[in-house]
A and B are shown apart, each in its own frame.
Chain A
């Protein structure tokens, strides 16, 4: 018996699609302005930079650690506020708990507008409003987190088992109490998991906020790069690495404890 996975027409279509993608990639590569000399030069530059970065310079360690502490505070405070603010947004943007269609669309609008703007862009905006510093950083992280938390929590609410909810409705419980007894216990694990995950992400995001003047360790990093203090740059990078690893460890420990 003669058997083929694809008919000749299907095969032609697949070849065509492959060829099309290849053409697109070639065109994309051609259209960007690559200065190839710099690319070939990269390994030499890398080695050179490395020699200038070693050994890391700890003279400014105190201010680096202080900025690290500030970074942790930005991430933690912003996450906490965002968690609280995202709760009502999640409730109104989940199909099964929204009071009405208007609320559903308001909720979704908040989620989309928060999520579609990157933290750095939010930070630029809030630095312009509040001036440089930690407040702009906190609010930027918070704005971005509301969308993330609200979206994931809203999805968790939509995925609950509706059977207990039906039972509570049959008892004559009001809408709020049905949420309280039927939905809250079911989304509790997701709520903690999502909050911890976002804190972890925020810790990393707040390390770069300083690049646009919104507080944290990024300010020192930016200053060191601008003044070619490569040994200090490497010190800052090592601190950030330690911070991120510590955050990861704390997050997974919390996850284990709470879930």
Chain B
């Protein structure tokens, strides 16, 4: 269970990107966050594993308070949080297997990492997962030889190798064509069910969000203004979520204050 309370993130001296945000993720298998660019979706996701440092507030993952961890404990906590990225963020010059095994870098010994002699159990699990998503035949290929959809599958397997307690996906399908995008979304949904893994997805494609998620959260300029089942998201709420621009919002707030 993930519990976010009073989360504030401010870059430099500007207006906060996240404003006193509260969010609780428990039973849901797959939750989508929608909102226009600049709404703070990415920042929210990155605050959870502290790729972005929150300014204030608390984030608790299954009893661990993330925001106060020192460097070493943070590394241990990050092993429990898988992340999938829009641009896949693979190491192009390494093989698919090396990329997949890099999900275990927080667990294995430095010597094993240097010599690429990964534990047998990790190799077995890697092949299982690669088989599951259909990339096992590429194990010895360089990551940059794969197509976009295949690369994102490598990204997903790398995250799953961590045996995460939660999976964060930051616009995982935004660089993919519509068909591949649907495949990745249904893959994420199926994996969430099979592994009993909560998944949070930032997504721009509202149709896909409605089709694949159990819960949708709508953000507008640092606040959550919608949080319900996909069926409850109607045209009026869509307008509300996507209306205006961050700068307009800023002015409106100034006027209100």
B83 within 8 A of A: yes
Decide if B102 touches A176 in the complex (CB within 8 Å): no
What residues of A have a CB within 8 angstroms of the CB of B93 in the complex?
185-186, 188
Given A169-B78, A173-B75, residue A180 in contact with residue B113 (CB < 8 A): yes
Given A166-B51, A176-B110, residue A171 in contact with residue B91 (CB < 8 A): no
Interchain nearest-CB distance for A160 vs B (Å): 10
Decide if A167 touches B85 in the complex (CB within 8 Å): yes
Decide if A181 touches B83 in the complex (CB within 8 Å): no
B22 within 8 A of A: no
What residues of B have a CB within 8 angstroms of the CB of A188 in the complex?
93
Given A180-B113, A180-B114, residue A168 in contact with residue B102 (CB < 8 A): yes
Decide if A163 touches B85 in the complex (CB within 8 Å): yes
CA distance A72 to B49 in the complex (A): 53
Decide if A181 touches B94 in the complex (CB within 8 Å): yes
Decide if B87 touches A170 in the complex (CB within 8 Å): no
A164 within 8 A of B: yes
What residues of B have a CB within 8 angstroms of the CB of A166 in the complex?
51, 85, 89
What residues of B have a CB within 8 angstroms of the CB of A164 in the complex?
89-92
CA distance A170 to B201 in the complex (A): 16
CA distance A172 to B78 in the complex (A): 5
In the complex formed, the residue of A with least CB distance to B108 is: A177
CA distance A163 to B92 in the complex (A): 11
Given A164-B89, A185-B93, residue A174 in contact with residue B51 (CB < 8 A): no
B76 within 8 A of A: yes
What residues of A have a CB within 8 angstroms of the CB of B83 in the complex?
167, 170-171
Q: Which of A164, A171, A174 has the most CB of B within 10 A?
A: A171
B158 within 8 A of A: yes
A213 within 8 A of B: no
Mark B59-92 against chain A: 1 for CB-CB distance below 8 A, else 0: 0000000000000000111110101010101111
What residues of A have a CB within 8 angstroms of the CB of B113 in the complex?
177, 180-181
A107 within 8 A of B: no
In the complex formed, the residue of A with least CB distance to B106 is: A172
User: 9 shortest A-B CB distances, which residue pairs?
Assistant: A172-B106, A173-B105, A172-B78, A167-B89, A172-B79, A185-B93, A163-B89, A170-B83, A172-B75
Write 10 A-B pairs (CB below 8 A) sorted by A numbering: A166-B51, A167-B155, A168-B91, A169-B51, A171-B105, A172-B78, A173-B75, A174-B75, A181-B102, A188-B93
